[in-house]
């Protein structure tokens, strides 16, 4: 990201980046004029936090390992999480949630995402 100030060529207001996280374009907070430098998948602009809830999982070593990675805890704690499901195991941005969701679903771990996950 650069610190250069970009002035809106329509109204002269200072323009703001479209996203705080990705250098993808600028928008004018005053008149709405702007541009995107590249096409960005809307999931990358989604700044909501999504909660991932483990609904049910087989208590197998591979699943415990996955849950421990997701919840960032050790295997003993991961096993407890599986036993007390449904339980929240992750909270984060859509991009991260999508990656984790695909991994967990591939392992037949049943999860639920709140709020509703549109991707």
Q: How many residues bind Zn ion (CB under 5 A)?
A: 8
Which of 6-14, 18-26, 94-102, 109-117 is the region at the interface with Zn ion (rule: CB under 5 A)? 6-14
Q: Is 8 in the site for Zn ion (CB under 5 A)?
A: yes
Q: Shortest Cβ distance from residue 46 to Zn ion (Å)? A: 25
Query: Judged by CB, which is closer to Zn ion: 34, or 92?
Result: 34
Query: Judged by CB, which is closer to Zn ion: 6, or 53?
Result: 6
The Cα 105–Cα 64 span in angstroms is: 14
DSSP output for 31-73:
T--EEESS---GGGG---EEEEEEEE----HHHHHHHHHHHT-
Binding to Zn ion, residues 9-68 (CB under 5 A): 10-11, 13, 28, 30-31, 33
Query: Judged by CB, which is closer to Zn ion: 31, or 76?
Result: 31
Q: Is the dihedral of CA 10, 34, 8, 31 positive or negative?
A: positive
Query: Judged by CB, which is closer to Zn ion: 27, or 57?
Result: 27
Reduced DSSP (H G I as helix, E B as strand, rest coil) percent helix, strand, coil of the chain, to 5: 30, 25, 45
Order of strands, edge to edge, in the sheet holding 87-93?
87-93, 49-56, 110-114
Footprint on this chain of Zn ion (rule: CB under 5 A): 8, 10-11, 13, 28, 30-31, 33
């Amino acid at each position: 990201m650069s610190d250069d100030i970009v002035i809106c060529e329509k109204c002269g207001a200072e323009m703001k980046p479209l996203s705080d996280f990705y250098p993808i374009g600028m928008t004018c907070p005053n008149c709405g004029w702007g541009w995107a430098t590249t096409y960005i998948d809307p999931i990358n602009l989604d700044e909501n936090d999504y909660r991932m809830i483990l609904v049910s999982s087989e208590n197998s070593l591979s699943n415990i390992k996955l849950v421990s990675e997701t919840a960032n805890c050790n295997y003993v704690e991961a096993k407890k999480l599986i036993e007390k499901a449904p339980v929240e195991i992750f909270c984060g941005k859509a991009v991260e949630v999508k990656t984790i969701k695909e991994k967990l679903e591939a392992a037949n771990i049943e999860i639920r995402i709140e709020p509703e996950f549109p991707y």
